Chain A
Amino acid sequence: MADLPLPPHVAEAPPAAEAPQVRAPEAPKPIISAALTDANIQVKSNFRGARIVLYGAVFDAAARPSDVVVLVRGPEQPVRITRKIQVAGLWINSRPVVFRGAPGFYRAASNRPLADIANFGTLRRLGAGIDHLTFAAPAEQRVETRYGVRDVVVNQLGADYYDWKSAVVRLKEAAGLYREDEHGVRFVDRGLFRAEIALPAGAPTGVYRADIILFQNGKPVAQRTRTLTVQKVGAERALYVLAHDRPWSYGLASMAFALAVGWAASAAFRRD
């Protein structure tokens, strides 16, 4: 997220140039701070309700009305998506398209609807909200020279590109991986807030990044970033690792086990 408008510690050391934008010079710039209750989340395979819990506080001497947005992003995963197309009366899969840059998990938690907190442009710049995620299908784009104009970006998906992109978001949303939660951040006391983010079974493992952003008057005025690690543990995880790291041993062992069960069952049910 190099394109974030505010570096993480802008709240402590505001650049002089921005000072006039924050209305009253007499009030010190607000500060947001946040902490995760657990930065290393272990997800058991048979779990119910693994969650990221985050506490934070807004320090603002002027007590201006504040909104807090928490953006949690999982590690980036390429997305392979296909579309059913009708060919000779049959509905079949089209050529798959690969999107890159999409987070494997995304939550935008806030204390009220994002659209009420800031305007479209601000949300887009911050990537706040599932409509503002930036990812692309690089393999579908190429730069070429057309009509003598150099470096024209041509997208092979043409006008359907937006449909494909929104389908990625829609399907990830249906899988519980992308969500906006407009009540995900709750102020529990004056300036003190709590955010709780549930992890679904399909949440990817790896390093997650949580951006906690303080909005005042529709503008992001302070930000904190926290990272956390999501690990899957337990017997099922061990099986998954084994099946992918040593597939042949796993396959042989599974088959030997299955045949042994079949044999044992026939012995158990033998009537004579």
Chain B
Amino acid sequence: MDIYLPIAEVAVNAPLIVALGALVGFISGMFGIGGGFLMTPLLVFFGVPAPVAVGSMANHVAASSMSSVIAYSRRRAVDLRMGAVLATGGVIGAYAGVEIFRLLRLLGQADLVVSVSYLVFLSVIGGLMLTESLGAILRRRRGEPQPPHRDRRPVWLYGLPLKMRFPRSRLYISVIPPLLLGAFVGMLSAIMGVGGGFILVPAMVYLLRMPAGMVVGTSLLQIIITTALTGVLQAGRNQTVDIVLATLLLVGGVMGAQLGARASARFRAEELRAILALIVLLVGLRMGLGLFFRPEEPFILMSGMGG
């Protein structure tokens, strides 16, 4: 059953897209990430033009994060204050990102920046996560004690001005690192069509030293606010949001996300991190590989913006 996407101007197989949404939703709910880093490349692979995939993903990520954040907030696992600080940065970053993406499209280099961003960010994050989580798994298998939880937080977190209390996370740190982190993730969200959870979650754990229980719910809150803004900006500035595509993905995505959130309770945290790290790494390498091989068809028609 093919369905025509009005903005992407291509016909896609509807059940396939719904299944894709469910699969990514499952992963998203399981790991507490938006899943955009996985969905955007898959959509491009199935023939959706990259700018439309990036633009529409914002809607999909916002909706699926919305459905999971409510579950987390019921468990009181959301630090609203930290979420607000991150989101403030995210709003600035998203605005900058949409403008940068617009410029890149005009220059014809959007593909390159998207591929390179995927290659660099996903490989680095995936590699780091994999090393860390495999180490933790091995230590547990061998019965070695986990390294003592380093409660010494980096000096720069304390040396910076504008300190703020985050009672839920039991933190008293400067707002500058979370603001910058939020801005950076917001920009990536606009350029890569991702929520940014794959960067946000590790950064909150390892840099901000937030308690693990608070990280996922809080990152989802930041992602909702940032992607909601990105989605509106992408539609307003670039006309690349396809609501039919986003809705199809949502139908599968919300169901998958709920199932994923329940499934996550059955795994240990480090096992979840290891699986996620592998997925992240594979997607990053796959997206980046195209840069190194001679393309079969060297010429590419650029959709839209024909003038």
Which A residues fall within an 8 A CB radius of B?
45-46, 77-86, 89-96, 98, 163-164, 167-168, 170-172, 175, 201-202, 236-237, 239-240, 243-244, 247-248, 250-252, 254-255, 257-259, 261-263, 265-267, 269
Contact = CB atoms under 8 A, between A and B. Distances in A.
Contacts of A175: 301
B239 A45 contact: no
A84 B291 CA distance: 10
Contacts of B103: none
A103 B305 CA distance: 16
A82 B302 contact: yes
Interface string B1-16: 0111111011100000
Interface of B: 2-7, 9-11, 58-60, 62-68, 70-71, 108-109, 111-112, 224, 228, 231-237, 239, 241, 243-244, 246-247, 250, 254-255, 257-258, 290-295, 297-302, 305-307
Contact of A248 (B236, B291, B305): B236
Nearest to B109: A93
Given A201-B10, A202-B9, A81 B241 contact: no
5 contacts: A90-B291, A98-B307, A255-B59, A255-B62, A266-B67
B292 A255 contact: no
Nearest to A253: B243
Nearest to B58: A255
Contact of B6 (A82, A243, A247): A243
A171 B298 CA distance: 11
Contacts of A80: 108, 301-302, 305-306
Given A84-B298, A93-B108, A93-B109, 13 more contacts: A46-B2, A96-B302, A239-B6, A247-B235, A251-B231, A254-B231, A257-B247, A258-B60, A259-B224, A262-B250, A265-B257, A266-B68, A269-B67
Nearest to B294: A91
Contacts of A94: 108
Given A93-B300, A96-B108, A247-B236, A261 B247 contact: yes
B300 A259 contact: no
A259 B67 CA distance: 8
Contacts of B109: 92-93
A83 B67 contact: no
Contact of B291 (A92, A202, A244, A267): A92
Given A92-B109, A167-B299, A171-B301, A265 B292 contact: no
Contacts of A82: 108, 299-300, 302
Contacts of A261: 63, 247, 250, 254
Nearest to A46: B4
A269 B254 CA distance: 9
Given A258-B246, A261-B63, A262-B62, A240 B299 contact: no
A160 to B, nearest CB: 11
